[in-house]
Structures are given as C-alpha cells and as structure tokens.
Chain A
C-alpha cells in the first residue's frame, strides 16, 4: 500500500536564477538590438559547431553511443530514489557526509552552515550550474562569505557583475576587448598594461587565481556525475582550476542535482565519450577529476555532498517532460539553436538557456513562472539531432505548450479556427474571405497584434483569385 503525498514541489520563487524578469520576446528585443552580442554569439557558436561536428564524425558508433546514453538515463530516472540512497550509503562509507536539500533555500542554508563551521570566510568555486541555479554566491555573500569563481569564464562573469549566458561558456557573449576592460576594472592587482591577447588575459587570470587557490581552505563544486555503485563524484573541466579546487582545500562541498546520479562506474564510459565531443568538440575531456569520499592524507579531509531537488522531482512526475532530466549539460543544443544564436542566453532569464532551458526551466519553476519559454523555439529540431542523449526537445516544447496557460484572446481565435476548419461550408466561406486581406495590402496595414508582428518585416502573400478547391471544382 502506498500513501499519496501530493505532487512534488517546484523550485521556490525569490531565490536563485530560474526566472526571468520579463517574458522571452521582450528580453530578446534587447538582445537582438545589440550587434556586438550577435557577432560574438555567431562567431562562438559556429566555431564550436564546426569543431564538435568534426570530432563526432570521427566516431562510427556515435548514434549507438547516443542511444546508450539515452537508455542509461531512462533507466536511472526509473529507479532514482533507490540509486540516490545507494549513492548516499557509498559516500558515507567512504567518509563523506550526505545532505538532502529539497530546494534552493535548504541547499543554500546547508552550504552556508558548513562553510561557517570551518571558520573561514572565503571559498573557491568550480564552475557549477547547480550552484548558479540556487543563487549560492548571493546567499554566501549575505552571510559574509566571499565566493571566488575559478573557471575563467565564470570569473569574467563574476568580475563583470554579469550573469552567465551559456551552460558551458558562461561568458560567450563577451569578446576579448570586453574581457580586457572587465579585468582592468575589477581584477585585484591587475597589470595596467593588460592587452586583449588571449594568452595575456589568461595569464592575468592565472596569476590572480593561483594566489587564491593556495590561500583558500574551502571549495565548493558541482558534479557532472555521481556513481551510485561506488560513491564516486566526477567533475569534468578544461582548465585545471577544478582539479585545484578539488584537491588543495581542506574542505570540499559538492552540490549535485539529484538527476546527476549514474548507476555504475562502467556507465561513465558512455558519458565520458559523449560529453566532450558534444560540448567542447574535444575527443577527450582535458581534466576529469574523480573522488570517492575522503582519502587520509590526500586531498580534502572533510567532504560533504548536498543532493539538490529544487523542482526535479516535479519534472520526474511528468511522463513526457522528464526526459529533460537526462541532460548532461553539454550545451550542444544551445550551439545549434538558431534562436539562441541570435538572442543569447540572458533572454531566457534562467541559468539554463537555449532549447534545454526552454524545457527545463518552466518545469522546474512551474509553467506560469516561465510561460513564454516553451514558445522560444521555431521547432526546427536542430537541438534534438545534436543532443548526445537524444532528448526530444521539440516534443517536450509542444507538450509544455499544450499545458498553457494561454492568453484568452488567442485561445478564442484558436478555437474558432479549429471549428471553422472542421465545418466545410464555414471553411469555404473563410477561404473566400481570405481574399479580403487584399484590403490590408501586402504591407498588412491595420492588422491587429500579434499579426502586425508578421507584417512589420514580411509582406503578406497576395491572395489568389481562386482557391485550389475552386479550381478543382471547375476543371
């Protein structure tokens, strides 16, 4: 016998970064008007697309790997509670401490308390979507704790008092001239003669970060994978900053979304092939750090794992939408998305932008809080083809759109259109009436919103003198 405990909660408002301030079309309006942003995004996404496409083409079994990844994720989601408990047991057995956080507020409180217990007021961070999602840096700051981002792009975002705009490349919206300005303005101890050469910029960040790595005793990370079988956590990164954070400090706190668990060590074989090729276009990930609990005399001696729900169980409850939890945060869907390429990540209002964000964010928060996101797609399907774990993003978008909420006037028009098209006489009359659109001219003068959105940039088709139906009847 089971007890129904009610539907799982969505991510709470007022904390973290899952909700935009304005609907997508309004946010996109700002972004589209920024030629520098358009240029930066086009350059960056087309570069990554070409690189990723090249290394994917090298693998004869890429499609089989995708299917394997999809199957592993589906299996994991089907028995998530048991796998999480197994992960907890294994982490505890290896000397770690596991904390369960129902939402962003709980996770922020747990991490803040853990840092306080160490007596330190500064932490170093490995790039992590989960901690961006819950607004951990802000929570720590309000507790008097300074969090220093050590991923180069996250550092650029942090020093620029900016927000990340891409899952993998958080500063993708910035070019090197802009990065130079940010460093000159905000990086402590920066050389005033800094140029915008990539190597010079990287060296400046390296100098600043090296001091921080060596003097900070607490680190906070996310996790790409958590292996239930062994209790092993894994972080994959390209810069080595993660390796520093995961090995140098005394205390390591890892915040992991509950969907990041994988059943067995061997499953990593599939994901560690899929992830680098789909994300950065590399054959193998440069720095893959794995650790299991605490190893005496080696690495952090105090390890905490915070398992974060924050709406994920609610996503899991939706039979169609739950596929969004299969995401391994590679960003391939962002890099191929024609909408993302033109609007950038900030337009989505959430730390999860692009196609995956358009299906994940509204499910995590509940649809009414992100109602415009499922419509931020032309349903072109490029994301589905690019996804290394075959998430059918277009179908989830359509599924979410069907759940509303819908504007009342639009719903009335849609109902009337369907009624007309289901009644042949009405339909024939409506078809003939379409010819009256000549009155509006090809420029669509006087069309009401939202139809004037079409005619603002596109001529209307000239209505034919005869419908096909009429032609057929008369031949």
Chain B
C-alpha cells in the first residue's frame, strides 16, 4: 500500500526518530511510504490556543498537501484528532464550506499509527523485538478523541522480549495540553508529578505513548529528576528488531 506520512511538526523538528521509525516500520511491512514535502503543521496549537484565524492557512496547506493520497498516517493521536475533529469545523466557521468538505475527506483517510496498523493493514504482530520493561501512557487525545482503545497495547503485547507493565491511573492526563503547559505551568507540573510517580511505581525503564508531545512532557520531567526512565515513541518500539 502507498501511504503518505504526515510527520507532524513536532516529530519532524524535535523527535525525528518517531517519524523515521514510522517509515522504517511500514517499509519493513512491505508498504511504500511517501513524504509530501509541502507539509508543515496541522494547526492544532493555534486552534487550541484561540487563534483559528492563524490556523486557517495551515489547515488549507494540510488539506492541499494530503488531498492526492488515499491513505495518510501520522505518529500522533493528537494531530490526527485535530485533523479529524477540528479542521472542518474551523474551515466552516470561517465560512469556507468547500475547504470544510475537502478537510472532511482528507480526515476520513487519515489514521493514527496504531489505527493504521490494526484497522487498515490488519496486523498486530509487526515482528518487533524490544527487550525492555515498558509502561504505556494512553494519551488523552488517542484515548478520548480518537478512541484508539487497546490497539497500542495489542501491538505492544506482540513485541518480542517486551515486558509490558500496567500504568496506574493511566487515563489521567499528564498535564501537557499544548500551551496549557506554559500558561498554567504550575498546575501542569502538579499533574505531571502524579504521572511521573505512577510511571516510576511501575519499575519500567521505558515509558511509551503514541504522541511525541506528551512524551516530551513526561520525558522532560523525568529527565529533570534524573529518574533513569526513558520516553520512547510507540513507533520506535514497533520499528525495533
């Protein structure tokens, strides 16, 4: 299958391993991956911070860039959530019904990585090997916006050598929330403190998730504590052999 990769601006710029791993994983599974270079950002930060006007050109760019492709994948539940649940709404609110319709069409062909693997490609065992004790944080937008459910866990359970440990209070937000993490930095930190405590309680040496943004947050906190726990994107684990 020919799959267009939406790398997401965050992974492209700061966490390229998540996007690279997505490419390597899908190629290993026998698929062709293309990277439309005109892509940049889904505009979620602008929409969620109250700047829909500024997000509109980004949404337009995203739709134009990915319209030609039949299947689009992104290694982020949050960005796919924005594409699926915000793009058309913002376009419609701006009075651009045609963009809204095109955005809906692109959204209907866009998948978060675990959705693509299980729902579209029909694979749970991707042939990965990752000999570590791992705990999985489900991330709010994967969980409550996309409803990916246990798809990431089903993929992780098939990874050779991986010791999967359940994260207590897993469904609680890590406190990232985009600009929430700086606008309400102290409340965000209080939420992070509890998330880190739960991660450390598992005794895992790796905390994984389907979103580089939440991992940047949890990882930033763990690094500050010199906690000795790494954050690794789900795509990186699934790409490991």
By a beta-carbon cutoff of 8 Å, the part of chain A in contact with chain B is 24-25, 28-29, 32, 38, 338-339, 342-343, 374-382, 384-385, 395, 398, 400-404, 406, 410-411, 414-415, 417-418, 421-422, 424, 427, 431, 434, 442-443, 450-451, 453-454, 456-461, 463-464, 466-469, 471-472
Residues of A with C-beta under 8 A to B12: 431, 467-469
Name 28 interchain pairs, CB-CB below 8 A, sorted by A.
A25-B183, A28-B186, A338-B172, A342-B190, A343-B187, A374-B50, A375-B179, A375-B180, A375-B184, A376-B184, A379-B177, A379-B178, A380-B144, A395-B89, A398-B47, A401-B48, A404-B50, A417-B45, A418-B55, A418-B57, A422-B58, A434-B14, A454-B182, A454-B220, A467-B12, A468-B13, A468-B20, A472-B35
Q: Is there an interface contact between B180 and A379, defined as CB atoms closer than 8 Å?
A: yes
Residues of B with C-beta under 8 A to A467: 12-13, 16
Map CB proximity to A onto B32-59 as digits: 1 under 8 Å, 0 otherwise: 0001011011010111111110110110
A442–B225 CA distance with the chains assembled, in angstroms = 12
Residues of B with C-beta under 8 A to A24: 184
Is the CB of B233 closer than 8 A to any CB of chain A? no
Is the CB of B167 closer than 8 A to any CB of chain A? no
Map CB proximity to A onto B54-81 as digits: 1 under 8 Å, 0 otherwise: 1101100100000000000000000000
Known contacts A461-B216, A468-B11; A406/B172 CB under 8 A = no
Chain A, residue nearest B216 (CB):
A461
Among B19, B145, B180, B189, point to the contact of A457 (Cβ < 8 A).
Answer: B189
Chain B, residue nearest A381 (CB):
B144
Residues of B with C-beta under 8 A to A402: 47, 50-52
Chain B, residue nearest A444 (CB):
B220
Known contacts A342-B187, A461-B220; A378/B50 CB under 8 A = no
A77–B224 CA distance with the chains assembled, in angstroms = 50
Is the CB of B210 closer than 8 A to any CB of chain A? no
Chain B, residue nearest A460 (CB):
B220
A398–B87 CA distance with the chains assembled, in angstroms = 13
A454–B48 CA distance with the chains assembled, in angstroms = 18
Chain A, residue nearest B144 (CB):
A381
Q: Is there an interface contact between A421 and B40, defined as CB atoms closer than 8 Å?
A: yes
Apart from the given pairs A410-B49, A414-B49, A461-B15, 20 other A-B contacts in the complex at a CB distance below 8 Å:
A25-B183, A25-B187, A38-B190, A342-B187, A342-B191, A378-B175, A378-B176, A380-B177, A382-B144, A400-B50, A401-B50, A404-B50, A421-B61, A424-B38, A457-B224, A458-B221, A464-B15, A468-B7, A469-B12, A471-B16
Is the CB of B202 closer than 8 A to any CB of chain A? no
Known contacts A380-B173, A471-B16; A398/B185 CB under 8 A = no
Chain B, residue nearest A418 (CB):
B54
A378–B13 CA distance with the chains assembled, in angstroms = 23
Q: Is there an interface contact between B51 and A414, defined as CB atoms closer than 8 Å?
A: yes
Is the CB of B123 closer than 8 A to any CB of chain A? no
A-B contact count (CB 8 A): 181
Residues of A with C-beta under 8 A to B58: 418, 421-422
Map CB proximity to A onto B87-118 as digits: 1 under 8 Å, 0 otherwise: 00100000000000000000000000000000
Residues of A with C-beta under 8 A to B86: 398
Among B47, B173, B182, point to the contact of A451 (Cβ < 8 A).
Answer: B182
Known contacts A338-B191, A421-B58; A463/B182 CB under 8 A = no
A121–B228 CA distance with the chains assembled, in angstroms = 66
A384–B189 CA distance with the chains assembled, in angstroms = 23
Q: Is there an interface contact between B186 and A339, defined as CB atoms closer than 8 Å?
A: no
A38–B50 CA distance with the chains assembled, in angstroms = 30
Among A382, A395, A421, point to the contact of B9 (Cβ < 8 A).
Answer: A421
Residues of B with C-beta under 8 A to A459: 219-221, 223-224
Is the CB of B158 closer than 8 A to any CB of chain A? no
Q: Is there an interface contact between B190 and A381, defined as CB atoms closer than 8 Å?
A: no
A301–B139 CA distance with the chains assembled, in angstroms = 57
Shortest Cβ gap from B196 to chain A (Å): 10
Among B19, B176, B185, B188, point to the contact of A468 (Cβ < 8 A).
Answer: B19
A374–B176 CA distance with the chains assembled, in angstroms = 16
Is the CB of B217 closer than 8 A to any CB of chain A? yes
Most buried by B among A384, A421, A458, A472: A458
